[in-house]
Structure 1
């Protein structure tokens, strides 16, 4: 089996992404020293975490002679936007199966943000009703393309396949090298988790490093137990892909926090908006209402509960998504957000 550095890979990302301290917000909270890994700065199509995964998946699509990549996600999917960008950069067609799941979405949500960029990258949009089974819709799109003489390459939701998760096994090595250069050891890493590929890849990479750093996934999809089981299985599959024993990761190594999801996927709570506002005002760093806003709310909540304490170094992995701020602009006109208390 190939090792990580032997996997075929396209080079889309601007790497290494910055790792920087958050001094003002650390002082504001009066707890641990907070750091941020800027995977919103991966570069391709406004960046984000999926680009690391797509480097391996697009390389595999090209190796298999694909003419079109096909994937799925909600209307404001960061994954779909980055897949469309990666396909354009690789000279491939891209078809997106778009799940229109929010009945009360306004005009900005339906026309701005990620969906606007999907169109600019010339993706083919197949809009399906909310609740449509993604696997069935993807297979139908692939079958139609094969009937037309094309060669489809299916990318799962969130690019969360073992090959995609390898991108975050590699990110683990990058974070470790950056921390060593700064003389740091991180006591915890916090990030948004949903389809599971990012957390699974981080866990696989940490297993290879024999790292004791605990990885905290803040569930944005739900239910948390299902997300946790999926992350565990995917992490083991990623280790197997890389030629290592899958028992290096046990179920108790997978930490998923399900109490920051609010009303559900794509529905930011008041706490989400306050977390976005806090980081913007304190550090001039933008989060999104669907993924990173909830993840940062989760980090703040863990600080409030004493899970992270003074003297620790905690890393927040910024997985991108700022494009969707423009789709949710109405939320900021509806209420006064204001500072969040420590």
Structure 2
């Protein structure tokens, strides 16, 4: 590694060490070739296996919650409060990691998916969160992050009155992007694994994974193109969210933001028919990946990312591509009635 790159690695490593962290993830995660999928698409596709981060069925949220739970432990918390969609992977992992720390978990489930059936509401991540002992609440709005956080603060006051020490994992982008630190660290991990790619495809929802990864790569002088695949908002709206989170992350780390506006690449071709709902292309991408690679994707995040990648294969030939697998497989069991081509 060149001296200037070594200096960048040390600086970023030192900054991350200043933040409390619980380190529950099974890291580093492997980088593997997807040989059969590559042959079928005439592209050189690899995968970063963040579905293998371990605790609570793993996924990208483990890296984020390492830092949130680090704060919770530092503050002596006894209860963790968090909001997510009904089939949220974030809340399931939060419940698992809180249980490992001897904390209770209170989960507020937003109504983001219209006309959801009983399988969606009871199976998958909902079932696992209950198994982990979490207390579940319903929040009727799916696009009210500020209101959802305010409701958690009221729940936290009730818990505090009962003698508990609550810790809130916030949802709205007005809070510091603590979870993004997990993907700044993931960028370091990827560089240290000595794998180099032309393009990376990753889900962009809250944008903490996307913005953290992009910030970390550019801080390390790495110019790999990162495509954030929109799973909740269109690319224009999502781009402003990513911009904002990058600015916030630079403030949090007290570092310059080396991400140019042109570096923020958003693709919303797989977004329709909306959050948590599949198009025929997303369903086809999930089934093709399973049948060629024995690897499961979910309808909410990774299935859409793979669908977007497959839609670009003609333009990506001759390039080395990394598909960042952010997990989410338990949600599949909430969608068993949504697959048409089985």
Q: Is the 8 A contact 2:113 2:275 kept in 1?
A: no
For 1:264 and 1:146, locate their aligned partners in 2 and report how far apart those are by CA, in whole Å: 37
The partner residue of 1:118 within 122, 129, 137 is 129
Q: Distance in 2 between matches of 1:196 and 1:16?
A: 21
Pairwise CA RMSD: 1.8
Moved more, 36-45 or 218-227: 218-227
Q: CA deviation at 1:75?
A: 0.7
Q: Any idea what SS the aligned residue of 2:298 has?
A: coil
Q: Distance in 2 between matches of 1:331 and 1:11?
A: 36
- Residues 80 and 158 (structure 1), Cα distance of their counterparts in 2 relative to 1, 3 Å cut: farther
SS of equivalent residue, structure 1 residue 66: coil
Q: State the shift of 1:208 in Å.
A: 1.7
- Determine helix, strand or coil for the equivalent of 1:226: helix
- SS of 2:312's equivalent in the other structure is helix
CA distance in 1, matches of 2:251, 2:23: 24
Task: Please name the residue that 1:156 is paired with.
Answer: 170
- Runs of 5+ consecutive residues of structure 2 not aligned to the other structure: 1-11
Within 2, Cα distance between the matches of 1:86 and 1:227? Answer: 29
143, 146, 150: which one aligns with 1:136: 150
Matched, 1:146 2:156: no
Superposed CA offset, 1:221-244 (max 9, x none): 003222221112212322332231
Equivalent residue number for residue 336 of structure 1 = 341
Q: 2:6 is matched with which residue?
A: none
88, 91, 107: which one aligns with 1:96: 107
Is 1:319–2:326 an aligned residue pair?
yes
Q: Which residues in structure 2 correspond to 1:178-327 (within 5 Å)?
A: 178=193, 180=194, 184-246=195-257, 248-304=258-314, 306=315, 308-310=316-318, 312-327=319-334
Residue 100 of structure 1 deviates from its aligned partner by 3.0
1:40-55 to 2 correspondences below 5 Å = 40-55=51-66
8 Å CA contact retained: 1:8, 1:59: yes
Paired with 1:101 and 1:314, the residues of 2 have a C-alpha distance of: 31
TM-score (norm 1): 0.91
Task: State the TM-score, normalized to the length of structure 2.
Answer: 0.91
**Aligned-partner Cα distance in 2 for 1:102–1:24:** 33
Task: Find the residue that maps to 2:338 and give its secondary structure.
Answer: helix
